[in-house]
Amino acid sequence: MTLSDYIDRIESASRTITVYAPAPRPALVDRLRRETGVRSVDYRSLPEMTAASRAFLVVHEGGEFVAAIGLDAVREFLEPPIYDPWAEELDEVPYRHVIDVFESTVWHTLDRRQLLAASREIENRAWQVGSGTLRVGFQRSGALEAMAPVYDRLAAETALDIHVYIDDDWARPSIPGVTIHADAGAEIGSVWVLVFDGDGDELWSGGLLAKEHDGGGFEGVWVDESRLVALLDRSLQQSV
């Protein structure tokens, strides 16, 4: 299976979102409808005297409660702050809850900043485990060049087996501890992909795949379930 087929294989979950807030939040509701691929996003009022900071949303799947998240965390994920994979601040950032809750949900529209935040989640796991295999598709050499200091440190300070893939040539010095697969195929040029195998521990494995739209922006999904992570790992290796 190729990477292009992978997103289509993720069954779209029958999720619903209900936003509870003291006043309607049409802009947020519209964005969630447009970007998350969740079909039903509704609003229910809380009493008007409630502070806006206490607003939250509830996610259901097939009628079952999945999670409630504070709207501040949701808003933060729409324009997330970016930290290094080893930054201690990552343990505290509220948007991590959003990444957890929307695992295995195909987002129709993600921008580079959101993808970078979701990527940091996987790189942070790899950093914490410190061993296992991390595979990353960078599309083009320019993107890898921008991230070279991060991957230099990841390789230098862990026992991770790191493989990176680019669609074009790599004319710069090699990065110690990082295997660079240049000219890895046209498909690599159109996707943003990361897979970490958790060094065999299902609790730490994770994957992210996003496909660039023709007009910019990405359609993407991140997965925690070991079967889906393994499938993404195989698809990546078959694509190059």
Partner 1 sequence: MDPERQSSNGPNASPSTIDAAFLALRDRTRRFVVYFLLEHETASLSEVADVVTGWLHTPDCGVIEPRCRNTQYLNLLHTQIPNLVEAGVVRHDEDDGTLSLAPCPAPVREFATRACAAETGT
Sites of contact with partner 1 (CB under 8 A): 18, 20, 44-47, 49-51, 53-54, 56-58, 64-70, 73, 94, 97, 100-101
Give the type of residue at 67. A
* Cβ contact 238:188 at 8 Å: no
The first and second tokens of residue 28, run together, are 């947020």
CA–CA distance, 4 with 164 (Å, rounded to integer): 18
CA–CA distance, 33 with 137 (Å, rounded to integer): 29
Q: How far is the CB of 61 from partner 1 (least distance, A)?
A: 10
Nearest in space to 194 (alpha carbons), one of 137, 155, 139: 137
Q: How far is the CB of 56 from partner 1 (least distance, A)?
A: 4
CA–CA distance, 170 with 179 (Å, rounded to integer): 11
CA–CA distance, 69 with 107 (Å, rounded to integer): 18
Q: Which is nearer to partner 1, 49 or 186 (CB)?
A: 49
Q: Which is nearer to partner 1, 88 or 214 (CB)?
A: 88
8-state DSSP, 54: G
Q: How far is the CB of 64 from partner 1 (least distance, A)?
A: 7
Q: How far is the CB of 55 from partner 1 (least distance, A)?
A: 9
* Cβ contact 178:149 at 8 Å: no
Give the 3-state secondary structure of residue 182: coil
Q: How far is the CB of 28 from partner 1 (least distance, A)?
A: 15
* Cβ contact 29:43 at 8 Å: yes
Q: Which is nearer to partner 1, 77 or 151 (CB)?
A: 77
The first and second tokens of residue 177, run together, are 């501890």
Cα Rg of the chain, angstroms: 18
Q: Which is nearer to partner 1, 65 or 176 (CB)?
A: 65
Nearest in space to 117 (alpha carbons), one of 96, 86, 89: 96
Q: How far is the CB of 99 from partner 1 (least distance, A)?
A: 10
Q: Which is nearer to partner 1, 63 or 176 (CB)?
A: 63
Q: How far is the CB of 123 from partner 1 (least distance, A)?
A: 21
Q: Which is nearer to partner 1, 93 or 180 (CB)?
A: 93
Q: Which is nearer to partner 1, 73 or 221 (CB)?
A: 73
